[in-house]
Structure 1
Amino acid sequence: QGQGSRTHLVSPSMAAAAAIAGHFVDVRNF
C-alpha cells in the first residue's frame, strides 16, 4: 500500500510538472 500511495502522489506531481514545462516551452516558442 505504501508504494501505491507514493505512486498516486507522484502521478499528479509529474503531470503538473509536465504541464508547467509544456507551458514554458510554448512561451519560449512564441
Structure 2
Amino acid sequence: SASTSNRNFEGRQGPGGRTHLVSPAMAAAAAINGHLSDVREFM
C-alpha cells in the first residue's frame, strides 16, 4: 500500500503488510494509475 502518514512502524498497515511512504502528489498519481507511478508524468 501507499501511505502519506508520518507514522511508520512494523505492522501499522496490518500483519504482513508492506507500506511505501509517499508524498501526497505521489499518492494521487498512484490512485489515478492504480499502481506506484512517476508523479512527473502529471506535471
Global fold match (TM > 0.5): no
Task: Please identify which structure carries the higher strand content.
Answer: 2
- TM-score normalised by length of structure 1: 0.35
Give the number of the structure whose alpha-carbon radius of gyration is greater. Answer: 1
- TM-score normalised by length of structure 2: 0.26
